[in-house]
Chains A and B, each alone.
Chain A
Amino acid sequence: MVFGFNGRLVYVDLTKEEIRVTELKEDWCRLYVGGSGYATRLLYDLVSRETEPLSPDNVLVVMTGPFVDTFPVSPKTAFVTKSPLTGYLGKSIVGGSFGAMLKRAGFDGIILRGASEKPVYLAIVDGQIEIRDATHLWGKDVLETSRTIKDELSNQKVKVAAIGPAGENLVRIAAVITDERRAAGRTGVGAVMGSKKLKAIVAYGSKKVRVYDREKLIHLMREHLGAPLKSPRGVGLRSYGTSGGLIGYALDGNVPIKNWTKGVFDKVDNITGQTLQKVYKSRGVACGTEVVCSIQCHKELQVSEAGWDEWEKCPEFETLALMGTNLMIGDGRALIAINRLCDRLGLDTISTGGTIAWAMEAYEKGFIKTEDLGFELKWGDGEAVLKLIEMIAYRRGLGDVLAEGVKRASKKINPETEKFAMHVKGLELPAHHPRRYHSIGLAYATSNIGASHLQGMTMLVERGILLPEYGISEIPKDIESKVKVTIIHQNLCAFLDSAGLCKFGVFGIIDFNKIAEEYTAITGFKTTKEDILEAGERIWYLERLFNLKLGLRVEEDVLPKRFIEEPLDEGPIKGVTCPINQLLELFYHYRDLDPRTGHPSKEKISKLGLDIELD
């Protein structure tokens, strides 16, 4: 058996209504840790270039890591599939208690294949697995779905991962929402669930997995839980959540404004986390009821004037930026309403914001007309955005085009608009700015899921959150050091996504010598910080090889040209562009990738011990 795990996975073929329990492979746990690493290894064998992402042949893996439910600050569950948005690795990592409950139910992960004829949900309760009818849930929003299931199971403690109408309608930017309000938002994982007619997955149980050295682990838990309270990053996140980041980032030029064309937004003060938490009564909680965390970055607001009688989620930084500054919406209440609607309909706020920003620019430039929409679509119009979000989720009118994501929508509306469709490999850009922090531009261009700020959080390093344990003791200034930082961060993020640890509870909070001790105490695998980096590196190359198998071309490791050819004419980053070509050249060199094909060398694959057959 492997400590830190149950040692069992659920395999479900929804076409055949077949349920099997399979054993977790210890050698894969050693090589790929768990979580997204393990899931990607599974997917490597199960999915091919020919697999249509929204067909029954696609596979969705829901996977936990060894830290989940064995250690605090570790709520992360990985949803991994072939993305309907990018055609490559689809991965979204979500907080909350769903993963912990899945483990307590007796399983480490779920492998889903096939498609049901009618809507169903999967209930995994205390070791029992059942496919249940969900016809009555189809069409309901996420919140209603979750609460209806809890009521019919007569158990308010079950954890539900559900899709909303967006996922049902195969919207390629659809999310899976867990714990009623935590989003596995990226890469269209919600559409894959919808294509399988799988409305929800429910988990509940009381089993506790065994760890290797409980006494040592308790000591390490205490240390880790105390660390955020002593760190500036921990104090900041605890005070305001990620929404508190907006004002500092805006002052520093690190936000998108008007689809990345402007450097200043004069209404930003209206929508910062600090302002929202001053205007409305607020509270901070952990991201899930079963999550032990001393940061509690999930902030909630009471917006009773809107007639909402429950605590509403304070939008995260990414939402405030992509829906706020990027769309020039300077109305905090409108952004809370937008966030609420996206969560209930099951849409990724990052991709939705990026797609709507493109639509607004297309409208401004005359590519989209009022008659195409039935209303005007001007920058800053929150009401119009709310209407458009509904149209996207239900694929109504022009919403049917936008539901395809910005890459496909721009191609369809007019190839001229592709110039300002802001994505990498089809995944819409998050909010951190490649003109401001060049290393995040490189991280976006080379991330294995498309533009993601969580597959290499290098903006943190450029802002002074260093990694001295890995030799990063000063802020990188030149191209070479930015490339090296990006590679290290990508590897560490790959490890954390696989282990189940929250990045907010690690970077700037505690060093990786401690993480290695924690991992050793949980699993019994004697691990150093160098081993962690190597495991992350192995997983990064596994993801890369998976994408190459699916047809990835080196030309797709790019940034939108706007960051290279269009400097801003105002604000903190006036005149600056991102030197992506120089960064990429060195990146391929240090990653040992062939610059013509993007393939890693055989020596590199062999050295890392990747156990896969290359095509």
Chain B
Amino acid sequence: MCLAIIKVKIYPDLKNIIVTEVNTMLVKEVLEVLKASLRLQGQYAVVKNGRILSDNEYISDQDEIVLVPIVEGG
């Protein structure tokens, strides 16, 4: 069952938009679904309007999000 259609960009490519359907709206679960379908490795943050969303927030239908690879450097 599709709950939402969202637009996804993968940082740093901010021009290409992937439109995808998701069957959950919880950020943590959306991220897992997207990582699997887009074959992304490592840690990502979900960013909406320049703000990192926490795992337990919800996204909405037609939201545009950016998946940002997170690196814990020095």
Contacts and interface: CB of A to CB of B under 8 A. Distances in A.
Which of B11, B12, B13, B71 has the most CB atoms of chain A within a 10 A radius of its CB? B71
B72 A239 contact: no
Interface in A490-540: 503-504, 508
Given A241-B71, A242-B74, 19 more contacts: A232-B70, A235-B41, A236-B69, A240-B69, A243-B73, A245-B73, A247-B11, A247-B12, A248-B52, A248-B70, A248-B71, A269-B14, A274-B12, A316-B73, A316-B74, A317-B73, A454-B74, A465-B72, A572-B52
Most buried by B among A232, A243, A457, A465: A232
Contact of B43 (A235, A241, A453, A460): A235
Contacts of A252: 52
Contacts of A243: 73
A89 to B, nearest CB: 20
A273 B70 CA distance: 11
B4 interface: no
A273 B71 contact: yes
Contacts of B72: 233, 236-237, 245, 460, 463, 465, 508
Given A247-B11, A272-B12, A278-B12, A232 B73 contact: no
Contacts of B42: 232, 235-236, 239
B59 interface: no
Interface in B41-74: 41-43, 45, 47, 50-52, 68-74
A227 to B, nearest CB: 14
A79 B73 CA distance: 22
Contacts of A236: 42-43, 69-73
A317 B74 contact: yes
A266 to B, nearest CB: 10
Nearest to B10: A274
B16 to A, nearest CB: 12
B10 to A, nearest CB: 10
B52 A239 contact: no
Nearest to B52: A251
A454 to B, nearest CB: 7
A503 B70 CA distance: 18
A457 B12 contact: no
B51 A572 contact: yes
A269 B47 CA distance: 14
A274 B51 contact: no
Nearest to B41: A235
A272 B69 CA distance: 11
A240 B41 CA distance: 12
Given A251-B68, A269-B12, A244 B51 contact: no
Interface string B1-41: 00000000001111000000000000000000000000001
Interface string A560-582: 00000000000010000000000
Contacts of B14: 269
Contact of A453 (B69, B70, B74): B74
A275 interface: yes
Contacts of A251: 45, 47, 50-52, 68
B74 A244 contact: no
Nearest to A247: B68
A237 B72 CA distance: 7
Contacts of A108: none
A457 B71 contact: no
